[in-house]
Amino acid sequence: MFARIRPQLGLNRSSREPKNGRIPSVVAVGLLCIPLALGGWILTLETTREQLSIHLSVVLFVLLCAAIAYFLMERVRTDFGETSSDSLYSTLQQLSQTQEQLSEAASSLAETQNRLRDSDNRCKALLNSLSDGVLLIDANSSLPIMYNDAVCDMLGYTREEFSSLRVLDYDAAHNEQALRRRVKRILRKGRDCFETRHRRKDGGLIDVHVTVETIEMNGRTVFSVILRDISEHKNHAQQLDRLSHYDIATGLPNRQLFRQELDRSLKSRDSRKKLAVLFVDLDRFRVINDTLGHDVGDALLRQVGDRLAECVDGTGTLARMGGDEFAVLLSEVQSEVDVRAAARRVLESLRCTFLVDGHELVTSASIGYSICPAHGTDMETMLMNADAAMYKAKERGRNRYQAYCENTNIVAMENLRIEQDLRKAVEREEFVLFYQPRVELFTSAVTGAEALLRWQHSENGITPPSSFIPIAEETGLIVPLGEWALRNACTQACAWHKQGGADLRVSVNVSPKQFQSDQSLLRIIETVLAESALPPQLLEIEITEGALMQNAEHAVETLRLLKRLGVSVTIDDFGTGYSSLSYLKRFPIDCLKIDRSFVRDVTTNLDDASICGAVVAMAHNLCMKVVAEGVETREQWHYLKTLGCDEVQGYLVSRPVPALEFEQFLANWRGEYRETNAA
């Protein structure tokens, strides 16, 4: 470049004198324009505050270099006579090199700036891709310095709006003093984690987990903050807590929460005041649940819960303990009179009809209660005693309340002992069948026998069924017991049949649990008949009215399947239940057994005589036979014969006896009853 401008300057190797004695102005202007052009180019770039300061430093350096160059050129002009043209040429070459270096530096600076811009964009993109809010907050002003989009989305603000918000503007859990204490703790520890609540722009509240760390930036303290929205997690936790402490069907506190509340109340109880626990158990709820379905049952439980809540109404705590059982905690009562009054209110509230899915339902309750400190001072004792009192109320006839007493607990403990012994007896098969004959009134012929279960207790000997059958029903042990009785009765009947008792039928009682167990009863009967080789017509199944009416539609179908097997069906204890005559007409029944409670006074009580006469007439009109139970006197025998009763069973003929004695009875029977048998 300088080779081209050398002639213009009038320089040559033969002459050391300039043309006019001055440096051409074009060179000076060119030298000055270099830094100015460089500065203008720099100003066209988008720069941050820190980058701009670097660029200005470069421009000042270039201006300084230009000034030095100009000064040297002036010296050349002044001392031209002493400076050769070669020296001037060398100086210009150096300036040219400096210009190139500056150009390269500017290019490198621009490249660095682009890399910094790309890095800054990638960093912003990375932060904005995070679901957690990330921000830097000035420790003094509490204003945000930097923040990602998640912070704005979380709180519902635009970036411009959030830039002017202080922490107190969106922190819903701290006032100014509390926030100041929190800041001091963070500054002291350097780091902190906690949960708080923030307020959104729309006024809604969100739960957030905050992680804070202090950092130093350009000589000032800054809080590096990470915000995580945990509202959904909190909601799930609350739902889990509600599911674990509240009943789904009724929305009431469940057993666990009731126990916690009772334990807390007992521990904080004023010694001068009493506390009471009431157990409320619905009567005959299972019949409604099994007959109309679980949806109707749950709807009824909800309505019962609503009525009980109105009775309690701030005076105590109501909970559903499970099934059809509720509990009430009265934390402050003056005397037992208050507890009885609360129990009466509960019974009264249930008297009105419940309308559930078009069904008008009526239910009652059995209530047992215990009072602290008279009936216990700890949670387990209070619950156990109230439960025992409730069962005592059921035994006394239901729809009543009963206080706990020591005798109640004694009975409960005895029942528990019987249950434990009964379970062992089932495993050891400590049972035996007794047989009571049935006799036809008009021919005095033995037509069959009823198989009756007895417990051959290892210590107490033969135990009557009234002592263990109710407990077996309650615990479900009646199912394996019933299957054992059916199997052994059929085996024995088949043996008698082979010995010559061609038409001797054996009847076996089936419990409600067995009868309601879908198809399992039918499978068991079919299997037992096949294994024992007993002709089906010699087996008779006895079922109570209550078992049939628990689910009448199911009963009709089961009875029809039994009839297809060739098995006879008898309704036991007829007249003590609540049979519907319309269903009785539909039931494929072979025989009705008149309960002994009507037979006992049939010769002295006009009502009992009328009932027996009506049952006989109705049964015959429906093509059913009639058997009278509990016949113990000659007068009863003759009167029932005049009514047209078909068969009798009772002590007048024979007590229930083991199989061997029954065989002896058959051998000795001549159609003559003995009244001594009834003694």
For 153-174, what is each residue's pLDDT tens digit?
999 999 899 989 999 999 988 8
Locate tokens 């025998």: which residue?
A: 637
pLDDT (0 to 100) of residue 529:
92
CB 225 within 8 A of CB 137: yes
Degrees (nearest 5) of the Cα angle 506, 456, 436? Answer: 25
103 or 386, which is more confident? 386
CB 273 within 8 A of CB 379: no
Banded model confidence at residue 18, pLDDT cuts 50, 70, 90: very low
pLDDT (0 to 100) of residue 578:
54
Banded model confidence at residue 19, pLDDT cuts 50, 70, 90: very low
86 or 145, which is more confident? 145
Distance CA(190)–CA(212), nearest Å, equals: 8
Q: Is the pLDDT of residue 140 over 60?
A: yes
What is the radius of gyration, based on Cα positions, of the chain? 51
CB 391 within 8 A of CB 303: no
CB 150 within 8 A of CB 131: yes
Share of the chain above pLDDT 70, in %: 83
CA 3 to chain centre: 96
DSSP code of 400?
A: E
* Type and span of the H or E element at 612: helix 606-621
Banded model confidence at residue 38, pLDDT cuts 50, 70, 90: low
For 641-666, what is each residue's pLDDT tens digit?
999 999 999 999 999 999 999 999 98
- The verdict on pTM exceeding 0.85 is no
| SS3 state of residue 3 | helix
Buried b (16+ CB within 10 A) or exposed e, 130-159: eebbbbebeeeebebebbbebbbebbbbee
Distance CA(298)–CA(289), nearest Å, equals: 8
CB 505 within 8 A of CB 532: no
Q: What is the mean pLDDT of residues 328-353?
A: 90
Q: Is the pLDDT of residue 11 over 80?
A: no
For 303-337, what is each residue's pLDDT tens digit?
999 999 998 877 889 999 988 999 999 988 888 88
pLDDT (0 to 100) of residue 304:
93
Q: Which residue type sits at 445?
A: A
Distance CA(509)–CA(512), nearest Å, equals: 10
Ranking 70-74, 104-108, 376-380, 504-508 by mean pLDDT, the lowest is 70-74
Buried b (16+ CB within 10 A) or exposed e, 225-247: bbbbbeeeebeeeeeeeeeebbb
Mean pLDDT for all residues in the chain: 82
Classify strands 317-322 and 354-356 as parallel, antiparallel or unpaired: unpaired
For 528-574, what is each residue's pLDDT tens digit?
999 999 999 999 999 887 777 777 777 888 888 888 999 999 988 78
* Type and span of the H or E element at 414: helix 406-428
